[in-house]
Amino acid sequence: MSQFDFGRVAVLMGGASAEREISLMSGQGVLQALISQGIDAHAFDPAERGLAELKRDGFTRCFIALHGRFGEDGTVQGALELLGIPYTGSGVMASSIAIDKVMTKRLWRAQGLATPAWQQVDSATATVQAFAELGSPMIVKPAREGSTIGLTKVTAADQCADAFALAALHDSAVLCEQFIQGDETTIAVLGSGMQARTLPLIRIVVPNGNYDYENKYFTNTTQYLVPADLPPGEEEAIGQIVLDAYRCLACRGWARLDVMIDAATRQPYLLEANTAPGMTAHSLVPMAAKAAGISYPALCLEVLRSASLDYAVLA
């Protein structure tokens, strides 16, 4: 298929999640890249227009640049299935599982894939108990948000109540997770099934050790190392683990998985999977693609080319 056979393409951006601001940045980048390649692409914000307009206006594919709830959680994917419009990224089931960090960790654990110890909590008291069992430091975060929104690194029991309250502002499901001290890394995956492949691993180094929302998107002090300068063979081994984790969730098209490497044991631990990764100027998938010799527009085209439906036969 040539790059001009995509028809009328909607770049879904914005939306109603807590990550709307980042989604608009991602979407604008994707939109301009597709237009530069001769694609008939248009911005479409589901917070401002009903999805039924996609069918009415003749859109034939959707590039999902939405992040978080109502965009990365299977809901918009389900709507597009009903409309019969192929879309980028994972399908309904994989999207809904991957956005839920607890469900993701249960599946990975069942497959023998290492992920930090965790507890789901429903109160400040339960958070204190989790801290006593998981140890310090402990991460407290919403189970179904991204971009470190609502996240707290807890180092003392008296911080638990505020950490729980902050996470609970964003989600009724709150996750307490063992903190792994070591190298923070991320690996992007392109493709589906056994044809899925990893892009170069990126090691993230933050001067103050706090890779929060601000440091992710709006500062230039965070270092992204690619090549990651890991011990020989380690990147290849982590890449295989990431592919196993990607396939375990039945992801397709593309995703980015975050991995912590324990400094003492060098054991990699899977943190989460992002099925609609960021595409901003600070985003990591474009950075990994560039390291692999893939330009931003070429990356957008490859992702768009993978657009599909779970139930294409019924569409």
Q: Which of 81, 235, 272, 310 is catalytic?
A: 272
Q: Which of 90, 96, 147, 215 is catalytic?
A: 147
Tell me the three state secondary structure of residue 124. helix
- Determine whether 272 is an active site residue: yes
Res 164 pLDDT > 90 = yes
Across 170-180, average pLDDT: 95
Per-residue pLDDT reduced to its tens digit, 92-130: 999 999 999 999 999 999 999 999 999 999 999 999 999
Res 188 pLDDT > 80 = yes
Q: Which of 23, 90, 95, 274 is catalytic?
A: 274
Residue 157 to residues 130, 160, 252, Cα–Cα distance (Å) = 10, 6, 40
- Determine whether 258 is an active site residue: yes
CB distance 24 to 48 below 8 Å: no
pTM: 0.92
- Determine whether 193 is an active site residue: no
CA-to-CA distance for 291 and 309, rounded, in angstroms?
30
- Determine whether 296 is an active site residue: no
CA-based torsion, 140, 187, 31, 223: positive or negative = positive
- Determine whether 210 is an active site residue: no
- Determine whether 19 is an active site residue: yes
Confidence of residue 147 (pLDDT cuts 50, 70, 90): low
CB distance 7 to 86 below 8 Å: no
For residue 246, with 0-12 CB atoms within 10 Å meaning exposed, 13-18 middle and 19 or more buried, which class applies?
buried
Q: Which of 15, 19, 27, 177 is catalytic?
A: 19
Res 239 pLDDT > 70 = yes
Determine the pLDDT at residue 221: 77
Determine the pLDDT at residue 1: 41
CA-based torsion, 91, 97, 99, 104: positive or negative = negative
Q: Which of 258, 269, 296, 310 is catalytic?
A: 258
Range in 144-148, 171-175, 222-226, 249-253 with the lowest mean pLDDT: 144-148
Domains of the chain: 8-88 (3.40.50.20), 97-114+180-299 (3.30.470.20), 118-178 (3.30.1490.20)
Per-residue pLDDT reduced to its tens digit, 197-226: 999 999 999 876 554 555 544 556 789 999
- Determine whether 278 is an active site residue: yes
- Determine whether 310 is an active site residue: no
CB distance 61 to 304 below 8 Å: yes
